Chain A
């Protein structure tokens, strides 16, 4: 079995040393793959190792990340997948060319802790309305201006308590510092919100075909 890591242009700069990577190419595109590692329990270290490999590739080429854990029987199967979906994969790589992904989450710091003895129906509804107002306001004051500095953006439902915005931005490589400066400026303008910006990431959230 082999594991697919990313789609790149072909030819591309030589692959980083020491990671047992290979490529399989067809008509200007290539999959970067490696031997499938023996299955182990998923851990943060395992995920970071995968991420470091993609970041290494991203240093000197454009990449379209493949969904984590994608395995094929052999190189021929990868070549076939590349052939079969060549057109849509080429378009998807074009969409992220020259760009990286930045993540921004907005946390509300004025959340009232829920009362220890539980909430009445009215209190629950009021708390829910407050959250929804805070979320709409954070989208307007943070997400909208950041979207204007990005080539594309995607916004997902918040997952954690207190989280108001969970967004990803596709940003041109040369515009990353400017984007970070905008985040810093927005943070200063909205001290009651906590903006958490991480990246640059490979464009995981902009890889739909």
Chain B
């Protein structure tokens, strides 16, 4: 990722994946469902500002992990 804006666009996808994905193993999960909802609320201001930026358009971002 090269610019802050692209990083913010990717943050939405990151939050979706980290908080909603991954294999669930028995054990404590640090975040309860309520806390996950809270994270979305906390990030909503950022996400809505990104949503308007998105309509102006960004190039697809492909990282270097492959």
Tell me if A134 counts as interface (CB < 8 A to partner B): no
Q: Is the CB of B23 within 8 A of A65?
A: yes
Q: Is the CB of A100 within 8 A of B66?
A: yes
Majority secondary structure of chain A interface residues (helix, strand, loop or mixed): mixed
Q: Is the CB of A196 within 8 A of B9?
A: yes
CB distance from A177 to the nearest CB of B (A): 8
| Docked CA distance A17–B30 (Å) | 25
**Range class of the A interface residue count:** 35 or more
Tell me if B3 counts as interface (CB < 8 A to partner A): no
| Docked CA distance A1–B27 (Å) | 11
Interface hits, B11-50 → A, CB 8 Å: 11-31, 35, 39, 42-43, 46-48
Q: Is the CB of A204 within 8 A of B66?
A: no
Q: Is the CB of B15 within 8 A of A47?
A: yes
Among the stretches A8-16, A68-76, A124-132, A141-149, the one at the interface with B is A68-76
**Contacting residues, chain A, for B61 (C-beta < 8 A):** 197-199
Residues in B lying within 8 Å of A, measured CB to CB = 9-31, 35, 39, 42-43, 46-48, 51, 54-55, 57-58, 60-63, 65-66
